[in-house]
């Protein structure tokens, strides 16, 4: 759908330049190119006044222009100064540009504490990020900078190893410097990564000082990891507590546990009905750990040929071990690990697959591979697989309770602009007993509807319409195309 231009093409500005292409636009702003290689930020008065009230950018730097449709406020940005939305981060070309953006993020955050910059306009000329308060999910500064550096990939600067791979042209010590310039904590792992490669490049005195700073960060890794936002699993307090106690604490305090003979977390099985939130929980854990992760499921390793499936399973284990510490997720484990004594599991290929898992699971755990398996049918799994020493923890995940649904809904809406008049009790009642993914869908859909209708907040009407998009609790999904 085309966007209506506020300024006509070739409209002449007071400085004599002519308006050319409309580059980007939002509800209350537009950015244009000109025939003099300058760029124009055009914004509605209420948005400019808000920036002025917050001392982000004075209203006086804008100039009023008159067109047939009315009057608009225009800011002309000089040649070679970047001007574009933060989520259109494909124009920077060097470390200098990246440092400039990081400083703008830091200085803007000093001025305003509670705004999200994920939807901001970057004005390099004034070293500012100007929030636009759109109806989209908010993100913290670590995710804003990470996505900007990675060209739009949603990643936090806390995920230093992954981010460094996405911006491979940028040396890791320079990446650490940029993160530091933004006023953000440098990941504990950044020191190890940067120190391992600094010898390959000649650096001046600034580089040596940066290396010393990174080494200091590495020595204080325990403090840094504590100060980072902790692991959260909205709507699943029991699983959150289990992951924190039996997995994350062991990983983040290795010396304490190794002194007691515990070198690495044990493997875990999550079982429960479809839609109970098993996959959601595992995805959050993998995201928090930020380790290389691999998956074994019927799509990735299933084969009709004898010996081929067990061979593919072995290859996945080999890859996970080679890249340890890593996470190996076994999804739909009933596809490979059903009881060998039952008739349905007869056949040499099934016996061979179970034997391969029996052999490789203890080996992988001993080499720092975290194994998490999921199944909807725990009763059919081969007993040998579920013995202690392979999977020490077998956790049942039930459908979310009303309290858990309420917690998830509150968590999701907390990052979005919501009307004070919204009544959530009815919404929570309707979502109780459903999959957690249904609750996430309703929140996302209500945000989409609000944006589609040009609203600045999510109101009760948007939530109610989104809720109606779900089938009834007892209603089966039907395919509108097919035979009766």
The string of pLDDT tens digits covering residues 311-370 is 888 889 999 999 889 999 998 888 777 765 654 444 444 566 677 788 888 999 999 999
Q: Which residues of 103-123 are buried (b: 16+ CB within 10 A; e: fewer)?
A: bbbbbbbeebeebbbbbbbbb
Q: How much of the chain, in percent, has pLDDT values that exceed 70? A: 82
CATH class of 19-77: alpha beta
Token pair for 62: 């804008």
With cut-offs at 50, 70 and 90, classify the pLDDT of residue 265: very high
Percentage of the chain modeled with pLDDT above 90: 38
Residue 169 in 3-state DSSP? coil
In the CATH scheme, what is the homologous superfamily, with its name and number, of domain 237-396? P-loop containing nucleotide triphosphate hydrolases (3.40.50.300)
For residues 280-298, average pLDDT:
87
| Sequence ranges of the chain with CATH classification 3.30.200 | 19-77
Report, as an integer, the average pLDDT of 21-37.
92
The segment(s) of the chain belonging to CATH 1.10.8.60 are: 402-468
Pairing label, strands 63-67, 128-130: unpaired
Which range among 254-258, 319-323, 385-389, 399-403 shows the weakest confidence by mean pLDDT?
Answer: 385-389
The reported pLDDT for the residue numbered 4 is: 87
CB 320 within 8 A of CB 366: no
- For the chain, residues classed under CATH 3.40.50.300 are 237-396
Joined together, the tokens standing for residue 236 give 């699943």
pLDDT for the residue numbered 276: 80
Q: Which residues 6+ apart lie within 8 Å of 151 measured at CB? A: 89, 90, 166
Q: On the CB side of 181, how many CA atoms lie within 13 Å of its CA? A: 19
Residue 106 DSSP label: H
Q: Give CA–CA dist 247/242, Å, rounded.
A: 8
Mean pLDDT score across all residues of the chain: 81
- How far is Cα 65 from Cα 391, in angstroms, rounded to an integer? 69
With respect to CATH, is domain 402-468 assigned 1.10.8.60? yes
Give the torsion through C-alpha atoms of 224, 206, 141, 284, to 10 deg: -50
For the chain, what is the radius of gyration of the CA atoms? 27
pLDDT at 122: 96
Long-range contacts of 212-218 (CB under 8 A, 24+ apart): 213/176, 213/180, 214/173, 214/176, 214/186, 214/190, 215/191, 216/191, 217/176, 217/186, 217/188, 217/190, 217/191, 218/188, 218/190, 218/191, 218/192
- Indicate whether this model's pTM tops 0.75: no
Rounded CA separation 181/170 (Å):
15
pLDDT in tens, 199-234: 333 333 334 444 444 344 444 433 333 334 478 887
Query: Cα(463)–Cα(138) distance, rounded to whole angstroms?
Result: 18
Is residue 69 predicted with pLDDT exceeding 90?
no
3-class secondary structure, 450:
helix
pLDDT at 142 over 50: yes
Cis bond upstream, residue 213 (ω within 30): no
The reported pLDDT for the residue numbered 43 is 94
Count of C-beta atoms within a 10 Å radius of residue 137: 14
- Whether residue 328 contacts residue 369, with contact meaning beta carbons closer than 8 Å, is answered with yes
Mean pLDDT of all residues in 251-265: 90
């Amino acid at each position: 759908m085309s966007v209506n231009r506020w300024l006509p093409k070739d409209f002449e500005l007071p400085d004599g330049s002519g308006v050319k292409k409309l580059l980007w636009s939002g509800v209350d702003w537009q950015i244009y190119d000109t025939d003099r290689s300058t760029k124009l930020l055009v914004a509605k008065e209420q948005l400019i006044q808000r920036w002025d009230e917050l001392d982000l950018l004075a209203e006086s730097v804008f100039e009023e222009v008159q067109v047939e449709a009315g009057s608009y406020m225009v800011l002309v940005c000089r040649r070679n100064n970047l001007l574009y939305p933060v989520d259109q981060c494909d124009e920077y070309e060097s470390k200098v540009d990246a440092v400039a953006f990081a400083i703008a993020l830091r200085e803007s955050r000093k001025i305003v504490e509670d705004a999200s910059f994920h939807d901001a306009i970057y004005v390099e000329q004034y070293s500012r990020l100007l929030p636009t308060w759109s109806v989209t999910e908010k993100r913290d500064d670590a995710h804003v900078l990470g996505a900007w550096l990675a060209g739009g990939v949603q990643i936090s600067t806390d995920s230093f190893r992954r981010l460094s791979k996405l911006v491979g042209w940028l040396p890791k010590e320079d990446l650490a410097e940029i993160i530091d310039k933004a006023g953000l904590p440098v990941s504990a792992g950044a020191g190890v990564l940067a120190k391992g490669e600094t010898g390959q490049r000649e650096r001046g005195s600034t580089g040596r000082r940066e290396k010393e700073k990174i080494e200091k960060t590495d020595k204080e890794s325990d403090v840094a990891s504590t100060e980072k936002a902790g692991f959260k699993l909205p709507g699943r307090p029991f699983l959150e507590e289990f992951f924190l106690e039996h997995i994350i604490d062991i990983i983040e305090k290795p010396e304490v546990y190794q002194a007691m003979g515990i070198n690495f977390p044990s493997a875990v099985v999550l079982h429960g009905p479809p839609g109970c939130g098993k996959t959601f929980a595992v995805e959050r854990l993998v995201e928090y750990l930020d380790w290389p992760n691999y998956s074994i499921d019927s799509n990735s390793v299933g084969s009709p040929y004898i010996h081929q499936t067990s061979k593919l399973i072995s290859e996945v284990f080999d890859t996970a071990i080679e890249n340890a510490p890593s996470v190996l997720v076994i999804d739909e484990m009933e596809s490979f690990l059903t009881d060998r004594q039952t008739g349905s599991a007869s056949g040499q290929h099934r016996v061979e697959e179970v034997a391969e898992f029996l052999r490789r699971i203890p080996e992988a755990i001993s080499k720092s591979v975290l194994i998490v398996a999921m199944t909807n049918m725990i009763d059919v799994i081969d007993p040998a697989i579920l013995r202690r020493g392979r999977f020490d923890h077998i956790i049942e995940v039930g459908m979310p309770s009303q309290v858990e649904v309420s917690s998830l809904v509150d968590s999701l809406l907390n990052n979005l602009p919501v009307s004070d008049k919204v009544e959530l009790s009815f919404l929570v009642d309707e979502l109780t007993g459903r999959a957690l993914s249904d609750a996430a869908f309703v929140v996302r859909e209500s945000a989409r509807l609000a944006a589609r209708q040009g609203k600045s907040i999510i109101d009760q009407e948007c939530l109610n319409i989104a809720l109606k998009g779900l089938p009834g609790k007892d209603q089966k999904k039907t395919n509108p195309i097919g035979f009766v």
